[in-house]
Chain A
Amino acid sequence: MLTRKQLLTGTGAAALAATLPGGRAEAQAPVTLDVVHAYPSFARFFAPIAEEFTKAHPNIRIAFRQIMPNYDELHQSLLRGALTNQLPDVTFSGFNRLPELARTLAARNQIVDLGPLIAAEGATWAAENFSPRMLALGKVDGRQFGMPFNASSPIAYYNPELVARAGGNPDAFPDSWEGVIALAARIKQTTPSAMGVSYYINSFDSDWLWQALVQQGGGRMLSPDGKIVTFGDAAGLAAVRLARRFVAECGMELIGADQNRQQFATGGIGIIFDSPARLAVITGLVGGRFPLRTSPFPITDKQNGGVPTGGNAAVIMARDEAKRRAAWEYVKFSGGPLAQKIAVEMTGYLPTNLRATGPEFLGSFYQQNPNARAAAAQADRSLPWEDYGANGPRIHRAQQELLTSIMRADITPEAGLARMVEQTTALMRSA
């Protein structure tokens, strides 16, 4: 712990150094960026990207804080940090939490608008590197507060041996949910000890899979202004009915998310739906037991349907000018083709940078890893991952309980959906 005196003399010296002539002092003085991200398993690519970055910018060091277990807890700790003045310099906020984070921090002047920084890179820089839909994921109220870093939408993982045994075609995964349920029911029949499909919204750590089920049918969770709950409509009803059918017709059991993945890997589930970020882990878990395959997420409403784009965007909160500059270099690098190549190769995420799919970066990777293509194929179906505001985590817990009850048939899908809308509305109001 620093004494006040040390702090004062320290900042005094730094201020003095900054005003010296030849004041490139801060460009050469080593800067350490305080960075925090979610999901400990992401250290796999955050660490090498930080290393590559420091090679290119030797005077900037990246120091990672204790990694947050998931986006919700990261978000809560950032809000806490805003109030206790413990914000890091850079964070990678989940897309669904970005609006609330950006609005809260902007009101307190604790977040940097990246728009001017992007413009300063030149007229064509943005268009060369990012598609408008991609950049839009980082915009809040028209201002670019986040630079998309990881992007992904849910895909299907399936066991082609179980599919073939059930009479399905392993090369042609169904592209409708009726098709999925029919296939899963057959899998359950031909392999009674396995679950046909597991759509584990009862234990997934966020509402991403639940939003996907609604959005693919053309529904939305909230009205465009984010104030009214809209998933109580036909698309929402179709979604909860599907959820119940997974259990009733396809042999799904309600177990934990990790348990589902483990059971799938040992051949105990025919089809699961999860993040392409888990591709590497799941491939490792499966090992040589069966030839793992993936497929894009089935979309019922081809016009309006889509999938919520999970992932995170880099956000700069540094106050100090030298740190801000260093942070922008880091954020640019993270969104650049090299870093995206590293991230995608390790995870199967969708590259946020247009140039990253080029032959000198990811071209050969996709050739050698066809399973990674499923995510990339969904790039044009991306929809925002919708956010309920300050009470988001509580709302997720409440929704998950009701979804579990629906799937257990403790409550009818209609009644359950109505209750969900009611509770979500009440919790949004009491935030």
Chain B
Amino acid sequence: MRESGGVRPGRVLGGIAAHAVLATGAVVMLAPFAWMLLTSIRPPEEVFGAVFDPIPSRFAGLENYGQALGASNLPRAMLNGVIVCCGILAVQLLTAIPAAYALARLRFRGREPLFGLVLFGLCIPIQVPALPLYIALADLRLLDTYFALMMPFFLTVFGLFLFRQSFRTYPEEILQAARLDGMSEFEIVWRLATPAALPAIAAFSVFSVVAHWNDLYWPLIVVTSSERATPALGILAFRDAETGGNYGALMAAAALITGPMIAGFLLARRAFVRGITMTGVR
């Protein structure tokens, strides 16, 4: 929010200083990505060679990416990532949207305690219930299944919190009008309130998918077979297999694993930012 005014020398200098700071920071932010991509096109004999020589003499991108895709579990790991993230997101939305609406707009017994629980849960990461959940899944012989991978994340207190904020801002008059028109509360939730909260839902979906695609802790514990490996486990297995033998392929693998998230974010950026802004985390 810039104030209007003429261009003063102090302002120009300030602008240049700001750009200098931001640009330096940007270089640091981007450095690993640049290094990853540059190394992923290098042939093995040049990986440890001249460090400040960015252009490799031989373009080895095809063999590196080919090896990352072919000689490892990566495609399967990425497929599992898609399955697990979609499954988690679906259940999250189906359970959190109605509950958040209820917390925001309906008066019922236990509303305050329930919201208290939501707040309590906001700062309890998966690592806390992990131990008992693992024991329970082990007893039920459900370890190493898609269900085990998804189950702890069906609950999203973050989603409950975010959607509640969003639903609180929905105009009461429209709700009243809809009720008078004879719409059931169920229809109101899914036909009126949800579409209006789409920015928040989009933002949340981005959070959720990114978090679970990238998750290491829980998959590390519950997955034993290579069929159920998630993206994080896939890259870890690939790194252990390589033992430094072919960093080019390893960097290619890293790029493949993290690429979809970055691409997705770039596409969903507008919706994401709007969702954050509108949900009242101010």
Contacts and interface: CB of A to CB of B under 8 A. Distances in A.
A86 interface: yes
Contact of B224 (A86, A265, A281): A86
B212 interface: no
Interface residues of B, number: 28
Contact of A67 (B147, B226, B228): B226
B23 interface: no
A39 B237 CA distance: 9
Nearest to A262: B244
Contacts of A43: 241
Contacts of B226: 64-67
Contact of A66 (B44, B45, B145, B225): B225
A41 B241 contact: yes
Contacts of A86: 138, 141, 143-144, 224
B240 A69 contact: yes
A17 interface: no
Interface in B216-243: 223-229, 233, 236-238, 240-243
A41 B240 CA distance: 7
A93 to B, nearest CB: 16
B216 to A, nearest CB: 13
A262 B225 contact: no
A85 B138 CA distance: 9
Given A40-B240, A67-B226, A261-B244, A84 B45 contact: no
Nearest to A81: B224
A281 B243 contact: yes
A278 interface: yes
Interface residues of A, number: 30
A67 B243 contact: no
B48 interface: yes
B243 A65 contact: no
Contacts of B229: 66
Interface in B128-156: 138-139, 141-145, 147
Given A67-B226, A67-B237, A266 B48 contact: yes
A127 interface: no
28 contacts: A1-B147, A39-B240, A40-B240, A40-B241, A41-B241, A41-B243, A65-B226, A66-B223, A66-B224, A66-B226, A66-B227, A66-B229, A67-B237, A69-B236, A69-B240, A81-B224, A83-B138, A84-B141, A85-B141, A86-B138, A258-B243, A259-B244, A261-B244, A262-B48, A278-B243, A281-B244, A287-B44, A287-B45
Interface of B: 44-45, 48, 138-139, 141-145, 147, 223-229, 233, 236-238, 240-245
Interface of A: 1, 36, 39-41, 43, 64-67, 69, 77, 80-81, 83-86, 258-259, 261-262, 265-266, 278, 281, 284-285, 287-288
